[in-house]
């Protein structure tokens, strides 16, 4: 069967291929796992449906699964993050691809149907949209051995379903693997968030007042790197233990309303809705920047900002100026979307190598296992450990 696809421009395939080849070299853990799984034939003739931000690193996961003998059906978990050239390269390499940058909500739904109508054996999901579809359309789930859910928010939805006994399929909470959550938020977002901010603004970080809202893993990573770049860091928190940790780490700690007039750059990392609100905008100084490093794009109350504004305009790629008083503008980066993806290149390759290696091994695990009862499962410890040990090995690090 020839592969099916709905992509923007097949002519972009070569350009996309170069990008995939680049990440291929550096996803060394996944390459080792792939080598290991080659011989057992577990992937052969299985159907895997994937719905994750479709860029080069994801594409390489898809290609790796393809090379192991499976049929791969893929779409993007967010039409804005789809890279058309990468999609074209996948199509050319025998993957069934349904993805266009900027696709409509309707198309997005159609794509999800498209990748599942093959009745996949395993689904790789990112936020829970495919899961939801398969619960509504169980006929497509009849071969399903399980779901690998990448994110916390997807896992939350699955757990809610499990609690209400509505979960139909076993699911693995990929995010809970130490080899993922200990590294991607702190070191991945910590670095790539700042790369995006510095590249978008071309502004100095040293000597600036950076206000980090939240001191969880993402907040810790953003704050640590801000210090490493020479900023004065203010942390705001609602959790008293984390607030005291931040203080002991040398950060200034105060409420956001107190920090508002001082900050040069505000970065949200909480996962909560509208943590920067009208009352804060009102107290900010002219020239303040706003960025979000949390998963959801609602941490900054952009609607309120828009209402408050006398005028707004795009002043530079992914920088939007909101003039909120005669002599006062604030600048929103990447529309309030997650800064390292919406305004940059996403996590560094090596960080995604860890996450996607966990994914690959968990797919293998689901394909190998007896059918599990519907529930949310942690990543098996031996898989988690194998991935992190492999990472140490490819980096030439020996431990006792």
Segment 233-252, which members bind a second copy (CB under 8 A)? 236-241, 243-245, 247-252
Q: Which is nearer to a second copy, 28 or 359 (CB)?
A: 28
Binding-residue pattern over the window 94 to 113 for a second copy, x denoting contact by CB under 8 A: --------------------
- DSSP three-state, residue 46: coil
Q: Which is nearer to a second copy, 115 or 291 (CB)?
A: 291
310 part of the interface to a second copy, by CB under 8 A: no
- 324: nearest Cα among 296, 353, 302, 343: 302
Question: Which residues are registered as beta bridge partners of 7?
Answer: 99
Span 193-212, contacts to a second copy by CB under 8 A: 195, 198-199, 202-207
121 part of the interface to a second copy, by CB under 8 A: no
- 176: nearest Cα among 326, 382, 387, 358: 358
Give the integer Cα–Cα distance in Å for 232 and 251.
8
Which residue in the set 98, 220, 350, 379 belongs to the binding site for a second copy (CB under 8 A)? 350
Q: Which is nearer to a second copy, 137 or 255 (CB)?
A: 255
> Residue 313 is encoded by which pair of tokens?
């305009």
Q: Whole-number minimum distance, CB 388 to a second copy, in Å?
A: 4
Sign of CA dihedral 110, 353, 298, 330: negative
Span 140-179, contacts to a second copy by CB under 8 A: 178-179
Q: Which is nearer to a second copy, 310 or 392 (CB)?
A: 392
346 part of the interface to a second copy, by CB under 8 A: yes
- DSSP three-state, residue 324: strand
232 part of the interface to a second copy, by CB under 8 A: yes
Give the integer Cα–Cα distance in Å for 89 and 23.
14
* # of chain residues touching a second copy (CB under 8 A): 74
- For β-strands 328-333 and 376-378, DSSP reports them as unpaired
Span 15-74, contacts to a second copy by CB under 8 A: 18-19, 21-23, 25-26
- 301: nearest Cα among 262, 321, 275, 271: 275
185 part of the interface to a second copy, by CB under 8 A: no
Confirm if 304 and 327 have CB atoms less than 8 A apart. no
316 part of the interface to a second copy, by CB under 8 A: yes
Sign of CA dihedral 198, 249, 288, 187: positive
279 part of the interface to a second copy, by CB under 8 A: no
348 part of the interface to a second copy, by CB under 8 A: yes
């Amino acid at each position: 069967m020839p592969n099916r696809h709905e992509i923007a421009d097949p002519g972009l395939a070569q350009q996309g291929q170069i990008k995939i080849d680049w990440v291929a070299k550096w996803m060394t853990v996944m390459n080792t796992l792939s080598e290991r799984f080659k011989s057992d034939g577990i992937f052969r003739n299985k159907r895997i449906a994937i719905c994750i931000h479709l860029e080069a690193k994801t594409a390489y996961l898809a290609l790796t699964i393809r090379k192991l003998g499976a049929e791969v059906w893929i779409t993007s978990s967010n039409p804005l993050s789809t890279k058309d050239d990468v999609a074209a390269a996948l199509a050319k390499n025998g993957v069934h691809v349904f993805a266009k940058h900027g696709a409509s909500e309707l198309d997005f739904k159609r794509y999800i149907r498209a990748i599942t109508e093959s009745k996949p054996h395993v689904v790789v999901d990112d936020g829970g949209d495919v899961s939801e579809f398969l619960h509504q359309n169980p006929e497509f789930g009849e071969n399903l051995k399980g779901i690998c859910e990448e994110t916390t928010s997807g896992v939350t939805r699955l757990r809610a379903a499990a609690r209400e006994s509505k979960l139909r399929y076993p699911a693995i909470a990929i995010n809970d693997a130490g080899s993922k959550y200990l590294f991607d938020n702190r070191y991945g977002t910590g670095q790539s968030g700042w790369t995006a901010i510095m590249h978008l603004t071309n502004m100095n970080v040293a000597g600036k007042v950076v206000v980090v809202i939240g001191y969880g893993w993402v907040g810790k990573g953003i704050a640590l790197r801000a210090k490493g770049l020479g900023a004065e860091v203010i942390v705001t928190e609602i959790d008293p233990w984390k607030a005291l940790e931040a203080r002991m780490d040398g950060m200034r700690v105060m409420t956001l309303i107190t920090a508002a007039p001082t900050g040069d750059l505000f970065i949200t990392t909480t996962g909560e809705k509208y943590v920067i609100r009208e009352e804060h905008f009102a107290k900010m100084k002219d020239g303040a920047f706003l960025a979000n490093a949390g998963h959801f794009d609602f941490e900054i109350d952009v609607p309120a900002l828009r209402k408050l504004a006398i005028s707004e305009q795009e002043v530079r790629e992914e920088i939007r100026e909101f003039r909120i008083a005669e002599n006062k503008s604030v600048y929103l980066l990447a529309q309030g979307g997650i800064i390292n993806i919406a305004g940059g290149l996403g996590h560094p390759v090596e960080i995604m190598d860890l996450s996607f290696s966990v994914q690959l091994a968990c797919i293998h695990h689901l394909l190998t296992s007896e059918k599990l009862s519907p529930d949310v499962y942690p990543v098996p410890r031996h898989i988690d450990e194998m991935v992190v040990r492999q990472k140490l090995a490819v980096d030439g690090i020996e431990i006792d």
